[in-house]
Amino acid sequence: MNTFSQLPIIPENLQTSNNGNRKVEDFLQDLEILEQEIRELYVEDQTPLVIGWSGGKDSTAVLQLIWNAIAFLPEEERTRKIYVLTNDTLVENPIISAWIRNSLNQITIAAQQQKMPIETHLTYPAIKDTFWCCLIGKGYPAPRNRFRWCTERLKISPADAFINETIRNHGQAILALGTRKAESIKRAASMAKHRKWRVRDRLNSNPKRPNCLIYLPIEDWRTDEVWMYLMQFKNPWGQDNKDLFEMYRGATADNECPLVIDTSTPSCGSSRFGCWVCTLVSQDKSMEAMILNDEAKEWMQPLLDIRNELDVKNDHDKRDFRRIFGTVQLFERNVDGETSVEPIPGPYKREWREYWLRRVLEAQQQVRKNAPPDMRDITLIQPEELSEIRRIWLEEKHEFDDSLPRIYQEVTGEPFEDPRHGGGNAMLGVDEWQILEELSEGDPMYLELMTRLLDTERQYKTMSRRTGIYDTLERCFETSSRSQSEAIANAHYQRDLKQAAKEGKVEDIKKIVNGEKPEPPQQLNWASLKFS
């Protein structure tokens, strides 16, 4: 029995296309050829097939297409594993996240009932790489196109880990994606670039991922053809594709986030199915439309508020004047036609990291209170993330007053149960921190230096060998002993000296060495304090 005999009457508006030359009859013929191609590819060997499924229209079309093609094979020939790979960034749009989880459950049940060799796999970023551990814990600023730190950590690495594990276990793999030329000019150009690695029609090798072929079954499909296929062919795992269409109709954009497997995959851009915290776009039109068009989704407003608050043009006042490792780095920029040399802003300051923690916890409380009953267990920030943030603040930021449990209880009214830590630092705590705050008399750098020195000593106290403690203490002075103005002045001093040496300006170097140009204030160090 042929799949196409199940096709209902095709609506008149889909009989021809206004954005291409292929008619419906031609599309159906090509579809039949494509299904046969998939079956032939499947029975060639036992190389596992990994389908990158994001829950959107294109990846759903690919999964449905492969499922329907393989279903025509006798059961004894369905021996090759098919993995449905989905990645959860932990900051997905909650509506889409719920849709995906429900879909994966239905796929699993239907595959077992139909005896299809399909397994679902949901991957997550490592806890240390999650959005909130990076932004609230380490202080990374909200992502920008010039500092797109989120894509690699949240999307590429988790998918890569599963694909690489599959290759290690089976020797090779084929990755099927819903990438299409018609999605955008940029996507078409990227696909054209990768055609030089083509093995055969719709099948590419990838030099960045040895032993993994990329299969693009719908690369030439138009958007109307994708929807025609989804609307006219029954979903094999029992979902109604009209529900998917309704989700798309609920917002203005027309693209979902694909499964991102490398940096050549474009960002979600103004797409519908993306992270609710995404600041790589000017505004989250999809969530705005969901809230505006459906009163039942107004409970998501706190999420949109946080996203918009993160997305500010200039957040330098919220960030340290040093980079994350404590050094001042300078860059040149044009200001009203003049070249200005300024420090590159670093991570969020302590007060802003604590602020964002409060905002996320408050939003979590609000949505749990106002969301529909089936969404009231929503978690915006995982307990494991809170534990990792606490560890970063205690061990890497040396903030031994341990403010996270206090903030958590103030916002939620419940004590924080850390799955990893056993009660924080027994030697140093909030009392010692308050004493140091009083002694510093409002000098933030003095407070930072003292807390770093004390906590460094505490960390080394528990070690069986204290090798390296002097170097570590010296680094505390290098990063924290100068005021902001002194540290920036020193960075300019070092830059001028290096620039003069690079350009061979001997006279300028002599003036600096002989003290004819002002030198920056001398840096404190461990030895000068100990032996002065």
Report which of 223, 217, 167, 215 is spatially closest to residue 194, judged by C-alpha positions.
215
Strands (E), 124-248: 173-176, 198-200, 203-204, 212-215
- Show the tokens assigned to 267: 């960002």
| Gap between the Cα atoms of 454 and 361, Å rounded | 31
As a 3-state breakdown, the chain gives helix, strand, coil percent values, each rounded to 5, of 55, 10, 35
Secondary structure letter of residue 275 according to DSSP: B
| Gap between the Cα atoms of 220 and 188, Å rounded | 10
DSSP 8-31: -PPPGGGSS-SS-S--HHHHHHHH
Confidence (pTM): 0.84
Residue 121 and residue 84 in contact, taking contact as beta carbons nearer than 8 Å: yes
> How far lies 284's CA from each of 304, 417, 427, 524, in Å?
8, 34, 46, 48
pLDDT in tens, the chain (532 residues): 344 333 333 344 443 344 457 888 899 999 999 999 999 999 988 899 999 999 989 999 999 999 999 999 999 999 999 999 999 999 998 988 999 999 999 999 999 999 999 999 999 999 999 999 999 999 999 999 888 999 999 999 999 999 999 999 999 999 999 988 866 555 545 555 555 555 567 788 877 778 899 999 999 999 889 999 999 999 999 999 998 888 877 654 444 554 444 544 444 433 356 789 999 887 777 788 888 877 888 999 999 999 999 998 889 999 999 999 999 999 988 877 788 899 999 999 999 999 999 999 999 999 999 999 988 889 999 999 999 999 999 999 999 999 999 999 999 999 999 988 665 556 788 999 999 999 999 999 999 999 999 999 988 887 888 888 999 999 999 999 999 999 998 888 888 888 888 878 777 777 766 665 555 555 656 555 555 5
What b/e sequence results for 12-40 when a residue is b if at least 16 CB atoms lie within 10 Å of its CB, and e otherwise? eebeebeeeeeebeebbeebeebbebbbe
Domain 24-126+146-239: homologous superfamily in CATH: HUPs (3.40.50.620)
| Gap between the Cα atoms of 213 and 517, Å rounded | 61
| Domains of the chain by residue range | 24-126+146-239
